[in-house]
């Protein structure tokens, strides 16, 4: 396992930005609950913090989508590994992602969830690597745009390691 880590975004920077995103979301939604859907597993920490940064009523659920093996690049293949428990029909849905990379995962997820007739559907992602996009994704809320480097921590993993790091770090080597 590599131990070559460089802090890209500190826990304090992330906390500040998540608070701002929560305020923005509060300002944008009129009434009724926001159905926040976390894409497992990478977004679990961001989801927990963003949900608490939002003051409006929130309902949460989780989806499992896998497009990555244990490597650093997409397999291009997307698989639904866990579906929602709740119905999103007629609801305001906010998909909560850790990072948008190729866009393959969210492009698939958006098409899937649109078929269930939500009232609205938007994306909040903590990180965006725009250089890597191969499928278009319309993102409403972005925490940070980052360069094309592999990052871990704050929920993000490399082969299931490092998810509990409080900072987001670049993993090299």
**Catalytic site positions:** 101
- Minimum gap (Å) between residue 123 Cβ and Mg ion: 12
41/56 with CB nearer Mg ion: 41
Work out how close the CB of 46 gets to Mg ion at its nearest, in angstroms, rounded to a whole number. 10
- Closest residue by Cα to residue 88 from 110, 103, 67: 110
Selection from ligand IMP, Mg ion, none that 128 binds (CB < 5 to 8 A by kind) is none
Which does residue 67 touch among Mg ion, ligand IMP, none (CB within 5 to 8 A, set by kind)?
Answer: ligand IMP
Which of 32, 90, 30, 93 minimizes the C-alpha distance to 61? 93
Contacts (Cβ under 8 Å, ≥6 apart) of 160 = 70
How far from 156 is each of 35, 97, 100, 123, CA to CA, in Å? 22, 10, 12, 18
**What is the distance in angstroms between the CA of the first residue and the CA of the last residue of the chain?**
9
Q: Which is nearer to ligand IMP, 86 or 159 (CB)?
A: 159
Q: Which is nearer to ligand IMP, 29 or 155 (CB)?
A: 155
Partner in contact with 68, chosen from ligand IMP, Mg ion, none, beta carbon below 5 to 8 Å by kind = ligand IMP
Shortest Å distance, C-beta 37 to ligand IMP:
13
Both tokens assigned to 90: 């007629």
SS3 at position 163? coil
Residues that bind ligand IMP (CB under 6 A): 42, 67-68, 74, 97-105, 150-152, 156
Q: Which residues bind Mg ion (CB under 5 A)?
A: 42, 98
* 56 versus 82: smaller Cβ distance to ligand IMP: 82
Helices 44-53 and 11-28: angle between axes, nearest 10 degrees: 50
């Amino acid at each position: 396992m590599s131990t070559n880590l460089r802090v890209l975004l500190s826990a304090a920077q992330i906390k500040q930005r998540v608070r701002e995103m929560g305020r923005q979301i509060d300002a944008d939604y009129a009434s009724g609950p926001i159905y926040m859907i976390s894409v497992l597993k990478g977004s679990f920490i961001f989801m927990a913090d963003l949900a608490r940064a939002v003051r409006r009523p929130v309902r949460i659920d989780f989806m499992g989508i896998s497009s990555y093996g244990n490597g650093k690049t997409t397999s291009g293949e997307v698989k639904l590994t866990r579906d929602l428990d709740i119905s999103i029909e007629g609801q305001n849905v906010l998909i909560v992602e850790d990072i948008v990379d190729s866009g393959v995962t969210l492009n698939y997820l958006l098409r899937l969830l649109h078929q269930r007739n939500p009232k609205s559907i938007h994306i909040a992602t903590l990180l965006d690597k725009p250089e890597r996009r191969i499928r278009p994704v319309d993102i409403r809320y972005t925490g940070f745009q980052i360069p094309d480097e592999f990052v871990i921590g704050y929920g993000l993993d490399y082969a299931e390691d490092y998810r509990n790091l409080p900072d987001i770090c670049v993993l090299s080597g």
